[in-house]
Amino acid sequence: MANPVPGKLTMEKLVSLCQRRGFIFPSSDIYGGLSGCWDYGPVGVELKRNIKEAWWRSIVQERDDMVGLDTSILMNSSVWEASGHVSSFSDPLVECKVCHLRWKADDLVENKCPACGGELTEERMFNTMFKTFIGPVEEEASVVYLRPETAQGMFVNFQNALNTSRKRLPFGVAQQGKAFRNEITTGNFIFRSREFEIMEFEYFVKPGTDKEWFDYWVEERFNWYVKLGIKKEHLGLYEHPRENLAHYARNCTDITYLFPHGQAELEGIANRTDFDLKQHGAASGKSVEYFDNETNEHYVPYIVEPSAGVDRAVLAFLCDAYDEEIVNDDLRVLFHFHPDIAPVKVAVLPLSRKENLAALAKDVHADLRPCFATQYDDTQAIGRRYRRQDELGTPFSVTIDFQSLEDKMATIRERDTLNQIRVPIPALRDTLQAKLAGEDLFVLPEGGQIWKQESSG
């Protein structure tokens, strides 16, 4: 009954749908926006939180060898000097002598301005860290930076985390949080912005075992995306050639995704060796060594770092889940989100606003909402409401109709197949829980019935 529509997704369509349905808006929208900054709306914030929570569960809570941290955005400036960011976190930049637009030299195909064709200046290095001042006086001594990554907060807390958690190597420290980069060129929606979120961890290992752990984490992280519904054929691995590696890295492999603008980095996994700990050890004068009581050795651990952009993950999950199909001559737009990341899990839809029906639907809603992220919607025709839930990617809708008043049953409609079952209201909660965990829709609770496939929407 449903026919797929080929060649469906463009970034323009996605941006417009995200704005219309409350996923993502331009920052400071009423003032014309701010380039490279975005706001997450009522539905987008749920999607983003779910992605972060799925990551946190899999990286921190379900493992014995990992602990979490939440370090400050502003740090002592010595951190950024020791890390190399003050001297080398920069991009080569050129400026057009005619229109004065600035371009990242690496992005240019020809040696002229892409906007007006004008002549360009020589390359100049431009530090992409945002600078600000602590205290009332704007002077060099009070300069602080907005962190461009969350990693440094974890390196400098290595001993704190190790000693208080009483872990032994190999072990990791994970965190999620905002990062800021004064990117010269932003674009492709939330793919590259100036304020974004990172979820990353530092996995401390014995030198010599780093290669093995690097390979392990590349595979684990790749599989995490697949487990949450991203199609394997849309993902890729890109191994950076040695000559292009960042100053701290021994190996670096990107997990890439086929975004509408092309295959591009979603997450970077780097073998950072002992570079960061040694730098901080030398600059702070504090020990960064680990005592291995199995071998009676002191050494500085090596670090494997999988670093993922939360916003890029949001974009990848949106793109991968997006679908259009023709159902009975009508276009149906939907997101096939995995239940764990879907912003709304269950919608409760009374067929009418009539008092007795509304009372029953509200009771059903009150019973379900402690267990799931729900939405109650009693506006417009039922078909329109189904379409709206499809565009939010809601896996299940529960419809309360006039027959429900008689037989105390409700209909569950499945987003992806449009199949429906009829279930006794007291069994709704457990049934939905099972379906959200992956049970087939047609496995019925006692007293349940297979209903019909949605015909006209």
Does 257 interact with ligand ATP (rule: CB under 6 A)? no
* Residue 265 or 378 with smaller CB distance to ligand ATP: 265
| Footprint of ligand ATP on 122-151 (CB under 6 A) | 149
Strand arrangement of the beta sheet that strand 396-400 belongs to: 374-376, 346-350, 396-400, 409-414, 420-424, 449-450
Does 265 interact with ligand ATP (rule: CB under 6 A)? yes
Task: Write 153-157 long-range contacts (CB < 8 A, 24+).
Answer: 153/69, 153/71, 153/72, 153/75, 154/69, 154/71, 154/201, 154/202, 155/83, 155/202, 155/276, 155/277, 155/280, 155/303, 156/71, 156/75, 156/79, 156/280, 156/284, 157/69, 157/71
Tell me which stretch binds ligand ATP (CB under 6 A): 207-215, 259-267, 352-360, 395-403. 259-267
Site for ligand ATP (CB under 6 A): which residue of 153, 170, 281, 309? 309
Report, in Å, the least distance between residue 100 CB and ligand ATP. Answer: 23
> Which residues, including other chains, have CB under 8 Å from residue 391's CB and lie 6 or more apart?
17, 21, 333, 334, 335
Does 308 interact with ligand ATP (rule: CB under 6 A)? yes
Report, in Å, the least distance between residue 451 CB and ligand ATP. Answer: 43
Does 301 interact with ligand ATP (rule: CB under 6 A)? no
Site for ligand ATP (CB under 6 A): which residue of 48, 52, 147, 181? 181
Asked if 442 contacts 453 with a C-beta cutoff of 8 angstroms, the reply is no
Site for ligand ATP (CB under 6 A): which residue of 77, 279, 307, 404? 307
| Number of residues located near ligand ATP, criterion CB under 6 A | 16
Reduced to 3 states (helix: H, G, I; strand: E, B; else coil), residue 356 is helix
Structure-block tokens of residue 109: 């195909």
| Footprint of ligand ATP on 317-346 (CB under 6 A) | none
Q: Is 244 exposed, middle or buried (0-12, 13-18, 19+ CB in 10 A)?
A: exposed
Does 193 interact with ligand ATP (rule: CB under 6 A)? yes
Report, in Å, the least distance between residue 264 CB and ligand ATP. Answer: 7
How far apart are alpha carbons 226 and 259 in whole angstroms? Answer: 15
* Residue 195 or 325 with smaller CB distance to ligand ATP: 195
What are the residues facing 168 on neighbouring strands? none
Tell me which stretch binds ligand ATP (CB under 6 A): 188-196, 286-294, 345-353, 392-400. 188-196
Q: Could you tell me where the beta strands, DSSP code E, fall in 322-451? A: 322-327, 330-335, 346-350, 374-376, 396-400, 409-414, 420-424, 449-450
Report, in Å, the least distance between residue 182 CB and ligand ATP. Answer: 10
* Residue 301 or 306 with smaller CB distance to ligand ATP: 306
* Residue 44 or 350 with smaller CB distance to ligand ATP: 44
* Residue 174 or 348 with smaller CB distance to ligand ATP: 174
Tell me which stretch binds ligand ATP (CB under 6 A): 105-113, 190-198, 374-382, 397-405. 190-198
Does 312 interact with ligand ATP (rule: CB under 6 A)? yes
Site for ligand ATP (CB under 6 A): which residue of 183, 215, 289, 367? 183
Q: Is 98 exposed, middle or buried (0-12, 13-18, 19+ CB in 10 A)?
A: middle
* Residue 240 or 429 with smaller CB distance to ligand ATP: 240
Asked if 373 contacts 393 with a C-beta cutoff of 8 angstroms, the reply is no
Residue 159 parent element (H or E)? helix 158-165
Select the residue whose beta carbon is closest to ligand ATP and give its number.
309
The residues of the shown chain that bind ligand ATP, judged by CB under 6 A, are: 149, 181, 183, 192-193, 196, 198, 265-268, 307-309, 311-312
